Structure formats: C-alpha cells, structure tokens
C-alpha cells in the first residue's frame, strides 16, 4: 500500500521529496525549460529544412 498502513494524507508529517525547501526544484525546472526550448528550436529547424527540400 501507500508508504504507510493507511492510504491517508493525515499520516504524512513531512515532505516526501527530499530536496523540498531547497533551490533544486527551481534548478530542475530551469533545466527542463532549457531542454524544451532546445527541442522546439531543433524541431523548427528540421521542419524548415524539410519544407525547403520539398519546394525544389
């Protein structure tokens, strides 16, 4: 079952995420945002290249 005997949030007395309250969640979010932007840029470049090939 959930980490406790009952599946109830009332038994949770602290953060389940060990890095809560630190700067790491923000750092992880920034890394994820950079990856998302990179994927969008690379995908856009690829789509433009394929479009230019199909126009010829």
Give one DSSP letter per residue of 2-26, joined into a string.
-SSSS--GGG--S-SSTTTTSSHHH
Confidence (pLDDT) at 38: 98
- pLDDT of the chain along its 56 residues, tens only? 456 566 777 767 776 778 878 999 999 999 999 999 999 999 999 999 999 988 76
Conformational region of residue 37, where left means phi above 0, alpha means psi within -120 to 50, and beta covers everything else: alpha
Confidence (pLDDT) at 3: 60
Quick one: tokens of 4?
């406790």
């Amino acid at each position: 079952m959930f980490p406790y005997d009952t599946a109830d949030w009332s038994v949770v007395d602290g953060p389940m995420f060990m890095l809560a309250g630190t700067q790491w969640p923000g750092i992880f979010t920034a890394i994820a945002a950079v990856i998302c932007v990179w994927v969008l840029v690379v995908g856009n470049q690829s789509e433009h290249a394929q479009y230019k090939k199909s126009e010829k």
